[in-house]
Copies of this chain bind each other. A is one copy, B any other.
Amino acid sequence: MPLGQRTAGDKSESRYCGVETDFNEDMPRLLDFNFSAGFDFLLTPLMNPTYRPSLVATGSEAAVLPFAGSDLVLSPAQWSSHVVGKISSWIDLDSEDEVLRQDSETVLRQEIAWASHLSLQACLLPSPRGTSCGNYARCVNQILQGLNNMQLWLRVPLEKSDDDAMDGNSDQAIGGYTDTWQWWNSFRLLCEHHSQLSIALDVMSSLPSGNSLGRWFGEPVRAAIIHTNAFLTNARGYPCLSKRHQKLIAGFFNHSIQVIVVSGNEVHNTSMGTLECSNHTNENSDDTSRHPLRSYLDYVGYLYQRMDPLPEQERFELGYRDFLQSPLQPLMDNLEAQTYETFEKDTVKYSQYQRAVCKALMDRVPDEKASSITTVLMVVGAGRGPLVRASLQAAEETGRKLKVYAVEKNPNAVVTLHSLVKLEGWENVVTIVSCDMRSWNAPEKADILVSELLGSFGDNELSPECLDGAQRFLKEDGISIPSSYTSYIQPVTASKLYNDVKSHKDLLHFETAYVVKLHSVAKLSPSQPVFTFTHPDHSTKKSNQRYTKLRFEIPRDTGSAMVHGFAGYFDATLYKDVHLGIEPSTATPNMFSWFAIFFPLRTPVCLQPGSPLEVHFWRCCGSTKVWYEWCVTSPYPSPIHNCNGRSYWVGL
């Protein structure tokens, strides 16, 4: 039974809540007992935990493996929807004891083969014991190569005090705690970021710092196992969670991470739950029908239901989350009607433009000359006319006289533009020019040049080159709107994006920047400015080539983290204090025209606490194209990406 409906929530996996149980041979009863309490699925061992292959007498090869019932005890749909297999937790593939090691490998293979046979959606692998998990990873990696669609969830405790850490390696410790993220990181590097290898986090009573927790939202976490001893008891004796725990659970819900409740050892003696079920007697029906973890489930359901509904824009963008798109090439290609249609709906953007034009008009023409001076405004890249409209509204708002040239290179958009002018009766004010701004011979010079040529990374749709071409017909003291723009980047953990890029198995996709609605991404450090362009630019030896070297410091309490690439943004000054942008700390609210951009790294860079990340970005210009190159030089050098624009470029 799902946790409920968020008032206007997403239909994600996190609606379902599971429960971890002990081994039980009576699967149907185990399922019934937990279902009737409201749980949606079981995390349960598939094989008797006392079984050891090496103890089985040789010659007894006909013996049946001690699985929990045959595949017939549940229907195929029940197995696959309601059971997550829990691999025997005694296994230790990196033990010094060779017999234990071999038993572990045998059982791991048998259990996963059985789970595959049952078409389970996932199996939970026991925690690696420190980062020295070479043989465990080798075995899992071999299994992953031939696996059906099943996911393998590696169990990782969110925090582990150094006392019980296997190896007191100081590199892995933050403030007395082992950084268990390192366990995950070693394992997944050995398994080469396999897309079916994901994470189940163990949530205990204490939590690491917010920065440390934040990393996990860029990693493939599928489930969070919450121990009963992570709960507090409220005034009425019911379980509840600390504010920090509540925030974390909300984060899980927002990232489609399923919650699984498990009885811990300390608080509330609930560990007898499944035993009570198997020893089911009807002596006291009230007591036995009440599931010992029911109140925990109720509390998780309560947290789910009280989540804020998703804002409309977020709901609209749900389908775009973490979905990689190639950036537009609006200069080389003509946009389609659908694209114009979408972008024209961004009222926030055009009201910012209108504000900017208002201020420019008033600066240009004093009130006393408002009726005598006509300002010449050129919209370069007019599309289907939204900036023409915004400019005319600004003229009306300020009482200034305006003459507009609407320059557009796309002949299809020009058709619409003509009908718009006719429809609105702008014939005397607006002149339509069907021409590329870089080659147009303007009949007069402009006071104001208005354009919307910015991409997610500012200059990446060649606004600088276009406006350089248009600058010829701007008066010496004329105004460009936008007057400047700056690109920004920040390092991110983005395992989903990385795996999507990697799935293409070629260099080209690793050297391409993508437009993407970032969601399952951990932002590791505040963004920093990369390239700035200012218009008009009257300097003589001007160049649109750029080179910037940046140094990012990751907060120490983050622990180690993986950088899969860089999230890119822009901020533009339209005119004076009127800006527009998507850089997270200054983003214009409720604007939807731009998602972020993502520059991947061919080999993700692992950052140790306190070691800075040094990054280089170049904007290179050739005779027919513009492209970016990027690389990392610290903590260790990466190859230079996209040399000579071999993989990704924007055509002039």
Contact B134 A189 (CB under 8 A): no
Q: Are A145 and B192 in contact (CB under 8 A)?
A: no
Hey, what's the 0/1 contact readout for A133-174 against B, CB within 8 Å counting as 1? Answer: 011011001100110000000000000000000000000000
A203 within 8 Å of B by Cβ?
no
State whether the Cβ of A267 lies closer than 8 Å to any Cβ in chain B.
no
Q: Is A644 an interface residue (CB 8 A)?
A: yes
A633 proximal to B (CB < 8 A) = yes
Asked if B141 and A190 sit within 8 Å, CB to CB, the answer is no
A 538-568 contacts with B by CB, 8 A: 540-541, 547, 549
Chain A contacts with B in 338-353, Cβ cutoff 8 A = none
Known interface pairs A134-B616, A138-B618, A629-B138. Does A644 touch B145 (Cβ–Cβ under 8 Å)?
A: yes
- Confirm or deny: A640 has a beta carbon within 8 angstroms of a beta carbon on chain B: yes
**Is A77's beta carbon under 8 Å from chain B?**
no
A549, closest chain B residue (CB)? B134
- A633 proximity list for chain B (CB < 8 A): 131-132, 134, 186, 190
What is the bound-complex CA distance between A643 and B640, given in angstroms?
29
Query: Nearest CB to that of A186 among chain B residues?
Result: B637
Which positions 606-651 of chain A face chain B at CB distance < 8 Å?
A: 606, 616, 618, 629, 631, 633, 636-640, 643-644, 646
A191 at the interface (CB under 8 A from B): yes
Task: Give the complex CA separation of A525 and B138 in angstroms.
Answer: 25
A629 neighbours in B (Cβ, 8 Å): 138
User: Closest approach, in angstroms, between the C-beta of A25 and any C-beta of chain B?
Assistant: 30
Q: Return the CB mask of A47-60 against B: 1 if under 8 Å, else 0.
A: 00000000000100
The reply on A603 being an interface residue by CB < 8 A is: yes
Q: Which residues of B contact A646 (CB under 8 A)?
A: 145
Looking at chain A's contact residues, is the secondary structure mostly helix, strand, loop, or mixed? mixed
A189 to B641, CA, bound (A): 11
Q: How far is the CB of A292 from chain B (nearest CB, A)?
A: 41
Q: What is the CA–CA distance of A373 and B185 in the complex, to the nearest angstrom?
A: 65
Which residue of chain B has its CB nearest to the CB of A138? B640
Given the known inter-chain contacts A138-B631, A636-B606, please indicate yes or no for A643 contacting B189, CB distance below 8 A: no
Q: How far is the CB of A88 from chain B (nearest CB, A)?
A: 20
**Is the beta-carbon distance between A638 and B189 smaller than 8 angstroms?**
yes
Report how far A636 CA is from B636 CA in the complex, Å: 12
CB distance B640 to A137 under 8 Å?
yes
Q: A145-B644, A603-B603 are in contact. Are A189 and B639 (CB under 8 A)?
A: yes
A626 to chain B, nearest CB (A): 14
Q: Which of A170-216 contact B (CB under 8 A)?
A: 185-186, 189-192
For A549, the chain B residues whose CB sits under 8 A away are 134
Which residues of B lie under 8 Å from residue A58 when comparing CB positions? 540-541
Which of A547, A637, A643 has the most B CB atoms < 10 Å from its CB?
A: A637
Q: A189-B638, A603-B603 are in contact. Are A145 and B643 (CB under 8 A)?
A: yes
Whole-angstrom distance between the alpha carbons of A142 and B646 in the complex?
10
Which residues of chain B come closer than 8 Å to A137, judged between CB atoms? 640
Residues of A in contact (CB 8 Å), total 37
Nearest chain B CB to A241's CB is how many angstroms away?
Answer: 35
Q: Is the beta-carbon distance between B640 and A141 smaller than 8 angstroms?
A: yes
Question: In the complex, how many angstroms separate the beta carbon of A547 from the nearest chain B beta carbon?
Answer: 6
A610 to chain B, nearest CB (A): 13
Among candidates B540, B616, B637, B644, residue contacting A142 with C-beta atoms closer than 8 Å:
B644
Nearest-neighbour CB distance to chain B for A46, whole angstroms, equals 24
Q: Which residues of B have CB within 8 Å of A101?
A: 547
Q: How far is the CA of A222 from the CA of B32 in the complex (A)?
A: 75
Neighbouring B residues of A131 by C-beta, 8 Å: 633, 637
- Distance in angstroms between the alpha carbons of A629 and B145 in the assembled complex: 14
Inter-chain contact A616/B135, CB cutoff 8 Å: yes
In angstroms, Cα B425 to Cα A547, docked, is: 83
Question: B145 to A631, Cβ gap below 8 A?
Answer: no
Residue of B nearest to A608 (CB): B636
CB distance from A55 to the nearest CB of B (A): 13
Instruction: Report the Cα distance A189→B605, complex, angstroms.
Output: 14
Report the Cα distance A540→B606, complex, angstroms: 46
- Docked Cα-Cα span, A618 to B139, in Å, equals 11
**Interface bits A430-464 vs B (CB < 8 Å: 1, else 0):** 00000000000000000000000000000000000
A100-135 toward B: CB 8 Å interface, digit per residue (1/0)?
010000000000000000000000000000011011
Please give me the residue from chain B that is nearest to A182 by CB atom. B637
Q: Is the CB of B637 within 8 A of A141?
A: no
CA separation between A14 and B375, bound complex, in Å? 76
C-alpha gap A409/B146 in the complex (Å): 35
Q: Is the CB of B186 within 8 A of A643?
A: no
Which residue of B is nearest A93, CB measured?
Answer: B547
Q: Which residues of B contact A640 (CB under 8 A)?
A: 137-138, 141, 190-192
- Set B132, B141, B616, B631: member contacting A643, Cβ < 8 A: B141
Which residue of B146, B189, B643 is within 8 Å of A636 (Cβ)? Answer: B189
Q: In the complex, which residues of chain B have a beta carbon less than 8 angstroms from the beta carbon of A636?
A: 189, 606
Which residues from B are CB-within-8-Å of A145? 643-644, 646
CA gap between A163 and B146 in the complex, in Å: 57
Write the nearest CB–CB distance from A352 to chain B, whole angstroms. 33
Q: How far is the CB of A534 from chain B (nearest CB, A)?
A: 16
A643 surroundings in chain B (CB, below 8 A): 138, 141-142, 145
Inter-chain pairs besides A138-B618, A145-B644, 13 sampled, C-beta below 8 Å: A101-B547, A131-B633, A134-B616, A135-B618, A137-B640, A138-B616, A138-B629, A138-B631, A138-B640, A145-B643, A146-B644, A189-B639, A192-B640
13 pairs across A/B with beta carbons < 8 Å? A132-B633, A134-B616, A134-B631, A135-B616, A135-B618, A138-B618, A138-B629, A138-B631, A138-B640, A142-B643, A146-B644, A185-B637, A192-B640
The 8 closest A-B pairs by CB, nearest first: A189-B637, A192-B639, A134-B616, A186-B637, A141-B640, A190-B637, A134-B633, A190-B640
| Residues of A near any B CB (own CB < 8 A) | 58, 101, 131-132, 134-135, 137-138, 141-142, 145-146, 185-186, 189-192, 540-541, 547, 549, 603, 606, 616, 618, 629, 631, 633, 636-640, 643-644, 646
